[in-house]
Amino acid sequence: MHNNTTKYTALIKSEAKRLGFLSCGISKAGFLEEEAPRLERWLHKNNNGEMRYMENHFDKRLDPTLLVEGSKSVVSLLLNYYPSELQTEDSYKLSKYAYGNDYHHVIKHKLKSLLYFIQDEIGEVGGRAFVDSAPVLDKAWAAKSGLGWIGKHSNLLTQQVGSFYFIAELIIDLELDYDTPVTDHCGTCTACIDACPTEAITEPYVVDGSKCISYFTIELKENIPTEFKGQFNDWMFGCDICQDVCPWNRFSKSHNEPLFNPHPELLDMTKKDWEEITEDTFKKVFQKSAVKRTKFSGLERNIKFLK
């Protein structure tokens, strides 16, 4: 077979753009050498809190070839979710990524389309689509593929774009041209570290997940520890503080994915509305949203904690 890798790479990238992805970067599938000791240290310090699932599949997390047999390439994709309008000032806050339809479904659909396109255009290509689902270290792969660098808040950051995007990947058994990482542009800035109210960013590039507001409001099943009372700055589902203060997010432009537009009632709800929310309203407003993960009872617990 003659070498078509460059042609195939260009084909995949242009289709990714057509499907609405912000950008697409590609890496050779293999063991993530630099990530291994980092992940080990992070887990060792219990920075995953109750998120025990982070400890499973340690080897698969670091090596996609164990996850998808015969895989040769990790195709990383970014999808913008920055909204055109924000919630009203007098409101308990939701992470911007949860305004619209659950991103898992929206992105999975696009990824499947991309995989079918590859199979139609190129032929027998095996692979799997991942959205935040299986043990894939998506930020590490995106950084390796040159889509950005990992910032001090441990999120992926991209010049001219910022960080308000989802990361997903296709792991496929097709050899392609590989991208190279970009340099870190955080410099001496410590805006995210200084702004985190629970001091979850324990040192540059290290986040103690068990102290993060997103963890408390979404992952934690028990009661939120009382010592954090008054530190949540009105965040009731997730938290965007470290991204909101990041200078690179001055470049955020609003997305153009209709499915990410919020339920019309969402943006106008005030604190009083949230405090009085019924299960019916919850179901209506969050019918297709990722907020369903915390369930009505979880959101209620978070709002009580903020009051």
Enzyme catalytic residues: 132
- Judge whether 130 and 136 are in contact, CB under 8 Å: yes
Query: What gap in Å lies between CA 170 and CA 55, rounded to an integer?
Result: 23
68 touches 173 (CB < 8 A): yes
Helix (H, G, I), strand (E, B) or coil at 52: helix
User: Strands, E, within 109-200: which ranges?
Assistant: 127-130, 149-150, 156-157, 165-172
DSSP string, 197-261: TT--EEETTEE-GGG-HHIIIII--SPPPGGGTT-STTEEES--HHHHT-GGGGG------GGGS
Amino acid identity for residue 207 in this structure: V
Q: List the structure tokens of 26.
A: 């590609």
Q: Sort 41 into a burial class: Cβ within 10 Å, 0-12 / 13-18 / 19+.
A: exposed
